[in-house]
Structure 1
Amino acid sequence: MNNSIGTLYIVATPIGNLQDITQRALETFAQVDLIAAEDTRHSGLLLSHYGIKKPFFALHDHNEQQKAGLLVEKLRQGTNIALISDAGTPLISDPGFHLVRQCRQAGIKIVPLPGACAAITALCASGIASDRFCFEGFLPAKSKARRDKLENLAQEDRTLIFYESTHRILDCLADIEAVFSADRYVVLAREITKTWETIHGDLVGLLRQWVAEDPNRTKGEMVLIIEGLPQKQETEFSAQAVKALTLIAQELPLKKAAAIVAELYGYKKNALYQFALEKNKD
């Protein structure tokens, strides 16, 4: 009997195109003793495609909190386990959080294997700023709750990423238009990596019309990438702020002076600093 503690491998699987599986993922599947899968039938088809036969353990949203302890015990007894979801990276709008947290609390080694993720794949192809973004998963199913959630994000200047279902996509776009306005730019990425992959961006009002024109455009796995609220550029500063900046800059470095005045008068320090640089040039 193996008395050493096992390892939990978090393995990303393809989101559509089976060729997106990594060599390391296949090697890990071949080496582990057990595979914890969201849907054992779905995952069985994936592994069968690659000629891999391993015991499965069903771990999904409805049983994870109750069953995670059983997997932790198996790991303690030396069983090596691979955690996978139906597609993409586990824990990203998929089960696995409770298991991973319990494993960390128990001191069990966790090895994440990078791979496909629909949110990141769509973001890369969206043409929307990717240096700062927040992933919000699925919006609420009911319109009132969905609009409330969007209201909370209306002033967010980072790129927003959501997953959405086929039967809610038009209602969701209508709510985005109502809360964010019709001129917010949105990209719909549908069926990423699959045969009917579509990536289409437009002002949300026009995007909603485009989707409604063809029933096929409402089908498949969907990611919405929404441009963040444009940051307002400070172009004018009060006479008092400019005077204070001039006086303080005589005693302190310009950047420090700008930071102090920005704090006093409620301006953005970088905008005030750039203003001071331009003023000095003049």
Structure 2
Amino acid sequence: MSCYDIAEVYRVTYYGPEDRLRGAIMVCDMKTGFQFLYKDKSLDEFDAQELYIKLFNAEEHEELDKKATMMIQPCIKTRDHILLSGPKASVGFVPDLSLCLFLFGDICTISIHNHRLGSKDLSVPLKRSFVTYDGTRSFSILYALFKNAVEARVKVKICNVVSAFGLYGVVAARTSAIKAPAYSSILFFKDEDEKLEVKPGNGDNDLALSRSVVGVPFGSELILQFGLCDDGGGKLVEHNERIEVTQGETSSRTVRSIPFGNQCLIEVEINWKSKRDMQL
């Protein structure tokens, strides 16, 4: 695998009055262009580049804001984490990285320029906080910058299911290079009141991940964290799977199976993407 420089955005946290979450969070680098980290359903018709252009046109910005306001959006409370659904491909930070947040009618752009970075900024937990223009809301972003990193694309299946059950809980991913547990990418999250129905059978239950791309520095471990329960309130699995990041000439594939007792099996497939394989 070719190694390259990756920016990993782990978490965006909201602070402010209870409201409806509307808008988008985008990230941009020179290689992959604009990508969504989050967008509400009112913006499904737009790609990230198109939306970014529209945001800086006053009339179109106002129309977008009205459209989002008319739709029923999820509620967000202070200290809530925004569940990210991207990026679809790893984000680089050479020569620079830009984050754009269009939430609650505000546009906030953060630029992180590579020439300002030193060795102390690499493979360490980083945080940026900022206040919206009207001063009533704020956001914090947890992220990290990795030199010589690779892209892991994660797939999860529930196999060998004996009988149907409801599944809820969390699947997260992080790197051993950063010890702080908050710096984890949430790949799957379901509350007890929104359980996923798992059907009997073998390999027919793909776990619909909210995001599947994780950046991991070479020489570290990819740590997959499972905390899943069934609809009877019993804990199916609480497990950490550690996978060493190895270097080769081409993309490689890793498959791990994690038993759920006698009830089913979790199969995890990791596709390690080389630089030349990078596609949106």
Q: Higher relative contact order at CA 8 Å, sep ≥6: structure 1 or structure 2?
A: 2
Give the TM-score normalised by structure 2.
Answer: 0.25
State the structure with more CA Rg: 1
Structure with the higher fraction of residues in strand conformation? 2
